[in-house]
Every structure is written in structure tokens, then in C-alpha cells.
Structure 1
Amino acid sequence: MAPANLTHSLPSTFLLQGIPGLEAHHVWLSVPVCTIYVVIIAGNCTILWVVATEPALHRPMCYLLCMLAAIDLAASTTTLPKMLCIFWFQGGEIQAGACLAQMFFIHALCMMESAVLLAMALDRYVAICFPLRYNSLFTGSLVAKMGVAGVVRGTLLMAPCPFLIQRLSYCRANIIHHTYCEHMAVVKLACGDTSINRTYGLAVALLVIGGDLLGIGLSYSFIVRAVLRLSSHEARLKAFGTCGSHISVILISYSPALFSFFTHRFGHSVAPHVHILLANLYLLFPPMLNPIVYGVRTKEIRQRVLRVFLPGRGDAKPRRG
């Protein structure tokens, strides 16, 4: 038996395999991944720059958008450079400490992003249901407190996972069948009883995703009820229009996350490469599409970008009527 199969402690290194079954296509897969990473950096940095330099955007919803952009940049930078090393140079080896750190930041940042999406839903709820009190209720100070709460929640909930993994015994090969150090992918390498790790991971996922989706759903149920009470059809369309960007981002963020979550735990007949591709979609698509959605649908952001890249276009006044 190989020495790697005799160890009963955390291996000093892990080997990230990439996408099982598609190793021959890694070079081709690197092209869209690299392109998406460039778009992620450009799009989210543009959002941060525009909000910072445009006084009209110094308001709570845009501060939340900046938080979302910063989280997307951090999450993608935690995973994509290493993923590209695997695709280009077969550089899948990663130190155990670096693997646990990557796992911590990936999942903690995902929890933080979910908290920001919930805060955005509350922002829309207050703006539509209590428009006259919005400026006094939803302040920059409140947004800062929500951001800190999201960071603390993600950090505290994810902090036990690396320690729970270190207590496990490892008697199998140290090859992780994934493109990054995902929690369950690392747990599956252990031998013996992993029920505590599995139960804790499932409980945290259900608490965060289920709780935040419940909060978002309740917010929009009150929003829909308030909007339907408006007498003007034009006013109803305008009210729903202010929620369009956020609803799009929710669908973009939660859909691949839920597919990946349920497929990973219950879709045992699904091919391994499908598991990994779904998990990668969750880390690739939301950070790429979020700034595009808000850039297109937010007038001030759109006009600011146009003024920079297409002088004269961003200064055009909207038509009346």
C-alpha cells in the first residue's frame, strides 16, 4: 500500500484534480474561465470606482452594491488563479494550510454575499413600503452595521470547519476531485466517522440559505402587497422596476448554489464532472453578471460609464413622456 494511504493525520499537501473526466479538455476550459475572470475584475472594479467617484450614488443601495462587488472580487480571486494553474500547468498541488484557508474564505464569503442580498431585499422593502421614512430608517450607518453583521456571521459559522477537518483521520489518497478545496470534497477523503462534519455543513447551509431566502421572500411578499395597492398602473410598473436588478441578482446567485448544493448531497447518480461544473458555475457566473446587471439597469452607473468610455453619450438627457 502506498505511504499516502497509511497516514492517519491531515496530509501535508493535497492534489486538486480539476474536473474529473475532462482533464484532456482543461486547456480549452481555461479559455472561458480566464475570460470570465477578466470580466469579473473589470466589472466589479468599475462598479467600485463609479460609486466612489459619483456623488449621486452615495446612498445605501449603492453601498450594498459595493459590498457585493468586493465580496465577488475576493471570492473569485480565492479560487480562479489556482483553477487556471490546474488547467494550464497541472499545478494542482496545494499545502494543507492553504487548502483549509481557501475552503474557509470560499464558504465564508458566500455566506457574506447571501447576507448582502438579504440586506438589499430589506432596502427595497423600506424604499417601497415606507418611502417617506426611507432616508431616516435606511441610513449609511445601518448599512455599515449590516455589513459588519454579515462578515461576523460568515466568519463565526465557517470558523469551526477547518478545526473539524483537522480532527479527522485520513487513510485514503490525498487527491481532491475538485477544482478548489470545497468543504465536502475534503471531508470525503477522510476515513472513519465524518457525521459531525456532514451534519454541521448541512446545518450551516440550511441556516444561511434557508434563513436568508425566507427573509428575502417575506420582504418581497410585503413589497408585492404594497405595490398592488397602488392605483396607478404606471406607478406599479415603476415600483417593480426598482426591484428588477435585485431580483435578477438573486436568481443569478441562488440558482446555481441550490443546484450545486442538492446535486452534491442527493444527486449520487449524477456524473462527477457535472457536480464540479455546477460548483464552478456558482463561483463564476454571479461575480461576472452582477456588475453587468446593475450597470445596465442603474441609470447613474450606466451614464457614468458611458461618459468615461463614450464621451458625449453619458450626458444625454432622458426623454420626457
Structure 2
Amino acid sequence: MTGPNPLKFLLAFTPTPLSALSGIALFVLIGLAVFAPWISPYPYDVQNLSIANQAPSALHWFGTDDFGRDVLSRVIFGARTSLSVSLISISLSLFGGVIIGAFCGYLGGWVDRLGMSVVDLTWFFPEILLALLIVAILGPGSESTIIAIAIAYLAQFTRLTRTQIITLKRQTFVEASLSMGAGSMHIMMRRLLPNAIAPVIVVAMLSTGNAILLEATLGFFGMGAQPPVPSWGGMMSTGSSQLFNAPWVIVWPGVFVALSVIFINLFGDGILRALDVKARMRTQ
């Protein structure tokens, strides 16, 4: 009797080579963010005006910015800021949306109407407009950006969870649990949520790509992480004035934003295919 094969387990969630490669690339990006202090060739905040706007070279692979700071080091540290802000904000939004959606969907009645009415207030505004409004009220910074993105994506997780719970609570296994004397919290936490959470988590993964774009947009407008802390959006904002003199300052963070979103979408699409049993049966 052989033990479980970790490689086969991972491949089950990445049914295509492209999604598998995207997953590996995502782990590399996360590794860059986590180990940024040890990987980056220079400190991200050290200025040297004598080499300002220097083109890419053997010493500075991505060139330098208008303060003589190494762009590669700032891109690596910017990954830590942009990815952590996006992941934390989506995690908070997911947690809040699942809790609110589960209670609204299971209890129904006035709880459902009241909860969804409050959540739908955020549904009426585009994410970028709502995030800009919240950051303008709270003030610029990473903490404000996390709160803004979390609120901006709260409605979609709440609605998706609510729909899943409403569908599942009509199933016979819920009636069987009720007949055996199970309480509402037991049914919700042990029976409904485990069956409803998978598609919500996949949507959260796909939304992380949008959150990276939103964080970069807020940073570009100067409302994200504040200097000297680098973020991809903030780097593109400061590099826009150097577009014709030193285009590498804005190009490299933009490339990493685009690659992050592409990798997340491809990897998420692979997980969606892996969870779609009917699609997998048709391809076999």
C-alpha cells in the first residue's frame, strides 16, 4: 500500500500545464515578497544622486530612479507591499462576506433584508470609486488601502455565499440534521459552510488579481503606501514623470503588476476546472 503522492495531489488542482506554471510563478513572486530583505541587491531607500536615472546595467539590472535608488530592489520590496495589501484585504473581505452571507442566507426574513440592504450600499459604486472615497475619508496609507479594498469587494462574497447557503439549506441532509435535533449554528458551520465555501474561495483567488490592480491604482494616485515604502503603483506614479527620460522606472513595476494578475487568473482558472467535475468528465 503506497502513501499519498503530493505531486499527483497538486496536479489535480492544476489540470493544465499553463495553470501549473502559473502556480509556480505565483509561489516565486510570494517568495520574493517574503524574502525581500535577503534577495534584493540593494536597500530600497538608499539614495545616490550621482547615478540617478541610470539605464539598466550589470550593477543595476532594472536601472535606477531619479533619486539613484535601485529599481530592482524597489520592485522586490514593492511586491511585499502590493501582494500583502491585496491578500490581507481580500482575506478580510472573504471572511466578512462569508459570515454575513451565511447568516443572511440561512436565517432569511428581516435579517436577510437588513444585512443585504447594508451590503448592497457598496454594490452600487464601482470598486475604484468606492475605494477612492474610503481612502479619502481615512487618509492615505497601507491600512486605509486594506480597509478600502476589503469593503469594495465585500458585496460579491456576501452575495455568493448567501446564494450557496440558500441553495444548500433546501437539501435533504439539512432536513435530516434538523430531525435529529441539530441546532442552527451546528447546521450552518458543520453542514452548510463546508459545502458552500469552495467556489467562494476560488472567486476570492481570482479577485486577488483585481485587488492588486486596485491597490496599484490607489498607489498611482498617491493614496496607497506612502514613501519611502515602495509599492508597484507608487513606483509607476513617480516614474510617470520620467517616462521619456527613464522609462524603466515605470515599465518594470507595471510588468510585475500585469504578470501577477495574469498568473493569478490562469492559476484560478485551473482550479475552477479542477473543481468542475462535469467538465473534467467530458475531457477524460
The TM-score, its normalising length taken from structure 1, stands at 0.29
Q: TM-score, normalised by structure 2?
A: 0.32
